[in-house]
Amino acid sequence: MKKFSPLLLLTIILSHCTSKNDNVYVYDSETLKIESLSKDVFMHISYLTTNDFGKVECNGMVYIHGDEAIVFDTPTDDESSTELISWIKEKQGKTIKAIVVTHFHNDCLGGLSTFHANGVKSYASAKTVELAKSNNIEVLPETSFEDAMKFQIGNESVYATFYGAGHTADNIVGYIPNEKTLFGGCLIKTMNASKGFLGDADIASWSNTVEAIKNDLPDLKVVIPGHGRHGGKELLDYTIELFRE
């Protein structure tokens, strides 16, 4: 049985006892929810039906500054992506400068064609584009980068960075320095989560990759996982312990 440190176990218990009714949804439909994490940071939640895990909540991130927005991971399909784009453009009155795909699975790029149809430029790592092609994914990100890319959203910088393999060989994360917020995607697990789908995972590297993030970003305040409830740095610690061999 996996053993966790006493401090981490206490954090897990406290997290489990926290009410889930404190969500601040600024948009709520059957196919898409948008939760406000700060004035400018939002978590979008859509749904994917899977054979092994049933109906799964899938998270992405929206950051707005000035008149611009950036999105990390599309909602899971065209319908929910249309809702998100409409909310950003029509309700918020912002231009979507970029959609960043954090790895090649469908919960990250299932709605990519809708973003393209709305004139949104798409970005991903070169490894993500390569894996998407090899897995016969039809709609691919338009622009690729190697290990990192910086985006200017309004007057603020946003980073997409590859720290190493874990959930997949290509998983990247998004970081907003002025918000001290990390979008970890499926590389990061919510508290109490299982290991989840491991079909494309590099389990031996997973903990080391998350350790690298923890060391590089010591001042993190908000961490958004690919599935489930957001939290703080305790999500990094939980993920590290979950996959430590």
Q: According to the model, what pLDDT value does residue 17 have?
A: 42
Please list, residue by residue across 168-181, b when 16 or more beta carbons sit within 10 angstroms of its beta carbon and e when fewer do. bbbbbbbbbeebeb
Q: Which amino acid type is present at position 168?
A: T
CATH architecture for segment(s) 6-13+27-243: 4-Layer Sandwich (3.60)
Which pLDDT score, from 0 to 100, does residue 12 have?
45
Q: What is the pLDDT of residue 54?
A: 83
Distance CA 213, CA 87 (A): 31
pLDDT along the chain (245 residues), means of 10: 49 43 83 98 95 90 99 99 99 99 98 99 99 98 98 99 99 99 99 97 99 99 99 99 94
Distance CA 139, CA 245 (A): 36
pLDDT value of position 20: 42
pLDDT score for 50: 81
Question: Going along the chain, which residue ranges are E strands?
Answer: 25-28, 33-36, 41-50, 54-65, 68-72, 95-100, 122-125, 143-145, 148-153, 156-161, 173-176, 181-185, 222-225
| Residue pair 161/198 in contact by the 8 Å Cβ criterion | no
Quote the pTM value.
0.91
